[in-house]
Structure formats: structure tokens, C-alpha cells
Chain A
């Protein structure tokens, strides 16, 4: 088979709006064709209905919940979880896993702040994002070329990155004073009431969803995650594709680290979020309905999953529910969603 030039084929029908892309596309033909509701649809779209139900409940239960200020605040507060979660969705769809997200986030934040102090404030942005990408690249290399299980590989690199972050910062918070207004610009400013991180969340979500659903790379991700052997026999460069997903996840953690540093005006190696980020992000991915075994999922699902968790925190805070009960509810929710999914799968 030869790779044909991407010229328009004569048979080319005008691009239809209906997109049958991944198996779980929102526009899946079977759903559109209006056949009766199947168990499959509950698994595929049940989470959206559930999200709406909780949303409506909070809207009635709390007078503050359904205000644009509050909803934007939910996005703002969850930006540093959401962005890595969106990106790691790609890694997971390709059949891998990452536990080093929080460590990459922390080290990228420290390196970014360090560069801002040492080399000038403008270095802050490229250094935090680029260093995140490099750490993702290292993870990807270990997983593909050294054939270390992704779970263990990223557990190990996560330890190492966290150690490096402490070493690089010497245990102190790095606070850039020169150009502090630029350093804190992204995290502490807004335009017409919308914080900049909200825009970044939206941007990253849209870009990654489009990549997944409408690019050759995205299609290859589903192939690699769905059946690695078949993907290889179909001529896909499996290792390269997997490494790319780790780089994207790393860069996203770099962006999240950058936002966090900018918000707190400093680079800190001891940020609590760093220790929890990987698990929170993966909880959001799984809650949304992306299979942690790969091959099935979408970024929009992670959007639903992450913000469902964020919304519950916010709503319960507004209703005065204690934090520990919130954790119990969140835990139950994740188990419930995943159990329903696998129960339907088994039938």
C-alpha cells in the first residue's frame, strides 16, 4: 500500500456535518438514527444526564450556585487539574497511564519560576511548558523503549521529578520580584470578569478534542489503544504515537504549573496539589467514561468528569457540607460510574 497524497479524491462527497469518529462520538449514527435506547447508551451518555441532574439540583438548592461568577469560579479553581486531565486522556486512550503528572507540574512550576528569576521574567512561560514536555518525553521513552510498565515507570519518574523540584528550589519558594506583574498576569487577571485560566482551559479542551476526533494522529491513538498488535500490523508507528501522548500530557502539566505559579506569585516545590494531581486527573478521566484500558474515550468526557467533581465540591461548600463527606460522595461516585460502565460492558 502506498501512502497517497492528500489530494481530493474524485469521489469526495461534500463533508457532512455528521461525524462518525471514535466509537463514542456524540454524533454516533446509532444514536441519531433514533433506535430504541440500549444499555450501551446509558454507559455512553448516562454521565451527561447525571451531570445535568446534579447541576439542576445545586441550582435549586443554593441561590448562589447558578451565577456566572460562581460557575466561572469552578472552572478557575479546577484549571490546574482540568488541563492535565484533558491531556492525559490522550495517553490513556492510547493504552497507557501516568502517575507523574503532579511531579511534572511541580518541577515545571519550580523551573519556570527559577528561570524567571535567573534569566528574566519572559523565560517563565516557555521554560515551564517546555520542561513539562521534556519530562513527558522522558516518561514516554522509558515506557516505549525500555518497555517498563507505564504505571511503574511514571511512579518512579514522579518520585525523581519531585526530588529534583526540591533540589532545584532548595526547599524555598521562588518568588520573582522583578517583572512580578508579568509573572502573575495569567493567574491573577481577568477580562470582562473571566479569569485568564478559564480561557486556557477552554482552549486546551477544544484543541485536544479536535485533535482526537478529527486528525490522523487522533485516529491512530484509538487504534493503538484499541488493539496494539493490529495497529502495528496496520503500519502505525506505535512507539512514536505513545511518546507523543506523554509529551502532550507533560506539556499540559507544564501549563498547569505555570498557571499555579502565576496565581500564587511563586514557584513552590511543596504544593499540595502536586501530590494529588495525577489521581484527581485520572479520577476525572475515569468518571467521564474513558476506559482506563485504552481505546475508548474522549476529551469532552473528561471535561464532564473533572467539572462534575469540581461542581460537587463547590455545591457542597455552598450548602455547608463538611469536606470529609464530600470526599466520601466523590469516591462513591467514581466507583458507581465505573461499575455501571463495566456492568453494561459485561452483558
Chain B
């Protein structure tokens, strides 16, 4: 415990809103100099946003921030860096075409007579490497490195800069346990040199092991800040989810005893998916819980043919199907709603009609010619059935709200009457009303016989809808729960606490 009593960062009533929902609400907080300060919380609790506010990546809507007692208003990460605050972001900001060495020293190259002192730079790098315990070829091109290694370059760069305050946003999400240990060792060494580290993470064991103080966030609010010694994983989880958390209950169709519709066996993909096997029955909703980066999305993409797999078989309705691309998956009866509707879901400049029929245009055409009247009436009915407002087939997708856009995506996949629905974050960025409507829709689809595999970061949502819950951790399914499991147990499995096997 080397935390001094001096607050190096003081936040007063910080607020940040995105499209009407608040990501941070009236957050006041002090971070003391020379300590490792953790920010923990569930996905969407605001911990990353708070880290970004401190690092100048996100500009708050309300509140003040003081660094060493001085009021500051950062508009760019550059401003924060000039003030001695460096950020190691989840989204990497490196120059991919340059070498590791050049990236680590970018902007702070040792110079001699105006030229970069290469030898000096290499010497400093060797020291840095021995101190960090990372094994990185200094001449490798950063763009050719694995994500984990790129992450290390980011860390080295922040450490190498003369920053007094370093913000680490999920720094270990792509590191191995050995590398994590090395990072922690280095983090402690930095603290002992008097630097302040803000450590954003959802790995509670790491947080308790490494940090001096912990701030718990929930739904954009600051729950409490306490010494790490006074917390346990259980108290943190309770703080993150509230003591009286009740899973919102959705109307559920009766648990299915029907034949398996989707069977996945021995699915592997590189080091992101390890030997995954699962079954979803006709009419059954299976929830897939796990942290971001646990392999949830990768599993969904693999089943939907979006990413290639190394091994494994997929059976639909008892029949083995070879799925090498999304077209194969669609033909097999699999519909996949992506997590990022703007990035790889919707056609923003096209009409709603075109958006709903894109996965099966031949169904509204004859001999290659579109039957626009038929398309319009079918699209109109689909948009009505998922309650898109307004349900005008001629409207451009970009002119709808987020919730309505999500419903349009549903409409696209309902158009083909899929046997298997894979939903990745079906209610992300959607307002409360639309959420309820989407939940009802999912429930109805299962009643009609679809096998649904639903991924959601909101565990309450998973528990409320699913007949069974699978928990993923580090690329593997680690636990399975029957309907309506206690939230705390699922949380513990998700975070890999004692109960879980990770």
C-alpha cells in the first residue's frame, strides 16, 4: 500500500450521454497519486467511458476534472498526454507499417544532432524489454503481429513515455497468463516509481491481486470506492449488480423436449474457440453468457459461416451440413443477426424493402426480374410484424432509430423462415420500448419452432428469456445452467470465480 493521500485526479459530477442514454451520471471520484486504482463494473457500466474521460478520449457533457488540483478540459488524447496522462486503449493506436522499436519510441525518439540516435534507442529498448519481461522482436512490423503482441507494444509505449498517469483499459484481455503476470509485475514497478495507474478490467481476481483501490460502477453510476483489501470477489459482484437484482422475467414458452435442431460438435478456430459442443432444440432459447472477448461472437460467426473453422461438425435438424460461407449457412436454415448492425448488418442507403429481402432476393422475383409489388407488400407485412415504426418499405434505413433498425434486421431474417436463429446482442443500443418488443419477438419465434442461440452482455436479459444458459470463458464453454438459474451463480461463472471452472 503505497498510496499517498494526495489526489492526483479529482472528478466532480462527471456526466456523459450517448443518444439519450447516459453512460456516466454524476460521477465524482478521487484517484490518489502513486497507486493502482481499478475501475470495475459489468459491460456498459461506464468503466471504460470513465477511463476515456480521464484520458481525453471522450469529452464529458457535464462536470469538472482536476489534475493535481488544476482544472483541466481535455479535448483530445493528445492534450491528456501533454499533461502526462497516457492511455493504453482497447482499440490499438499504432502505426502498423512501422517496426516495434519505431512504435515504442514514436514521437520521443532519442536524438543526436537532429538525427534519430538508433543505437541509443536500441539500448533503451533492451532495458525496457528486460524490465517488462515481454518477448518482442524489435524489428518486427507492428501490423504483422498478433493482437496480443500489438497490445504489448502499446503497453511498452505508454511505459516508455514519461507519463505520470497511465490508463490501462482491459490490458490483459488478449494476453496469456504468463504475460499477464509480467504486466502486473511491471505495473507494480511503475507504481513504486511513483506513477499512478488507472486499471479498467472485468477480471476481478486480477483487480484484487494487483490494485490498491477499487471503484465499482453500475449503470453509469459510481457505487463506491474502497481499498482493495476490504473487498472480495463476492462483494464486488454484489456491488456491480446491486444487492437486490432481480432478473426481469419474460414470458417463456414451455421448455422444449423436442428434437435437437442445431448440434455443434468439437468446433475449433485458432486460439479463439476451443472444442465447442452445444445443442439447441426446436423451440428452445439458449442464452450464451460471457464477457466481451470470451469467444461468444466468434462462436456465433463460426456457426454462421462468417469465419472459417479449423475443425468441428454442425448438424441442422439431424443432418450434417458443410458451412464454408454465409451462403451455405443461409441455405442450411441458419440466420445470423450481427452485433454491429451498422458495420455488417444494414444497408444504410437502401430502402427498408431492399434491406428486408437482401438475403433472399430471388424469393421476390421471377426469372431474375424483381417483382417490386410483391416485394413491397411482403416487406410491409414483415415490417408490421416486427413493429417497425414507420413501416414504410420505401424509406431509407438510415432514417430510422437504432431500435427500429434492429427490428429491420430481424425482418430480414424472418423473411426466410430460418430454423436456427443466432442473435448477437439483439438489444444493444436499443431503447426500452424496442427492447421489450424484441424480447417478445424472440419468444414468439421460439414458440413457432425456431432454435434460438442468444448472446447478450446483459445477463438479466439472458436469464429472463433463455431455457438454458451456457457460459463461455476464454474460448470455451465452462458452465451450463438450466432455466432460471440464480443470477449470482451465473455471474460467478461468467467472471470465473470459485464456482466456475475457469
A residues with a Cβ closer than 8 A to B are: 1-4, 6, 8-9, 11-16, 19-23, 28-30, 214-220, 222-223, 226-227, 229-237, 295-296
The residues of A that contact B370 with a CB separation of less than 8 Å are 21, 214-216, 218-219
Of chain B, the residue at the smallest CB distance from A9 is B374
The answer to whether the Cβ of B58 comes within 8 Å of any Cβ in the partner chain is no
The answer to whether the Cβ of B361 comes within 8 Å of any Cβ in the partner chain is yes
- Verify B346–A227 contact, CB threshold 8 A: yes
A23 CB contact (under 8 Å) in B327, B396, B412:
B396
Interface segment, one of B31-39, B79-87, B107-115, B387-395: B387-395
A226 CB contact (under 8 Å) in B330, B350, B365, B413:
B350
Of chain B, the residue at the smallest CB distance from A210 is B369
- Verify A29–B395 contact, CB threshold 8 A: yes
- Verify B327–A236 contact, CB threshold 8 A: yes
Known: A20-B393, A30-B395. Contact between A2 and B361, CB under 8 A? no
Of chain B, the residue at the smallest CB distance from A214 is B370
B residues with a Cβ closer than 8 A to A are: 304, 306, 325-327, 329-331, 333, 335-336, 338, 343-351, 353-354, 357-363, 365-374, 376-378, 381, 392-396, 412-413, 415-418
- Verify A12–B346 contact, CB threshold 8 A: no
- Verify B333–A15 contact, CB threshold 8 A: no
* CA distance in complex: A231, B349 (Å): 13
- Verify A233–B326 contact, CB threshold 8 A: yes
* CA distance in complex: A150, B416 (Å): 34
* CA distance in complex: A341, B499 (Å): 59
B365 to chain A: closest CB distance in Å? 5
Known: A12-B377, A15-B372, A20-B394. Contact between A235 and B354, CB under 8 A? no
Of chain A, the residue at the smallest CB distance from B328 is A235
- Verify A1–B374 contact, CB threshold 8 A: no
A160 to chain B: closest CB distance in Å? 28
The residues of A that contact B343 with a CB separation of less than 8 Å are 229
Q: Which of A19, A20, A220: most chain B CB closer than 10 A?
A: A20
| 30 A–B pairs (Cβ distance < 8 Å), ordered by A | A1-B330, A1-B333, A1-B415, A1-B416, A2-B331, A3-B331, A4-B363, A6-B363, A6-B367, A12-B374, A15-B371, A20-B376, A22-B351, A23-B349, A23-B396, A29-B395, A216-B369, A219-B354, A219-B361, A223-B347, A226-B347, A227-B344, A229-B343, A230-B358, A231-B358, A232-B306, A233-B306, A235-B327, A235-B360, A295-B350
- Verify A235–B396 contact, CB threshold 8 A: no
The residues of A that contact B374 with a CB separation of less than 8 Å are 8-9, 11-13, 15
Chain A facing B: main interface SS:
loop
A112 to chain B: closest CB distance in Å? 30
- Verify A22–B350 contact, CB threshold 8 A: yes
* CA distance in complex: A162, B331 (Å): 44
- Verify B358–A219 contact, CB threshold 8 A: yes
* CA distance in complex: A226, B362 (Å): 19
The residues of B that contact A218 with a CB separation of less than 8 Å are 370
Of chain A, the residue at the smallest CB distance from B336 is A233
B166 to chain A: closest CB distance in Å? 35
- Verify B368–A229 contact, CB threshold 8 A: no
- Verify A11–B377 contact, CB threshold 8 A: yes
Known: A11-B378, A232-B326, A236-B327. Contact between A2 and B416, CB under 8 A? yes
The residues of A that contact B358 with a CB separation of less than 8 Å are 219, 223, 230-231, 234, 236
Of chain B, the residue at the smallest CB distance from A295 is B349
Of chain A, the residue at the smallest CB distance from B416 is A1
* CA distance in complex: A237, B396 (Å): 24
A24 to chain B: closest CB distance in Å? 8
A113 to chain B: closest CB distance in Å? 35
The residues of B that contact A23 with a CB separation of less than 8 Å are 349-351, 354, 396
Of chain A, the residue at the smallest CB distance from B396 is A23
A162 to chain B: closest CB distance in Å? 32
A235 CB contact (under 8 Å) in B330, B349, B367, B394:
B330
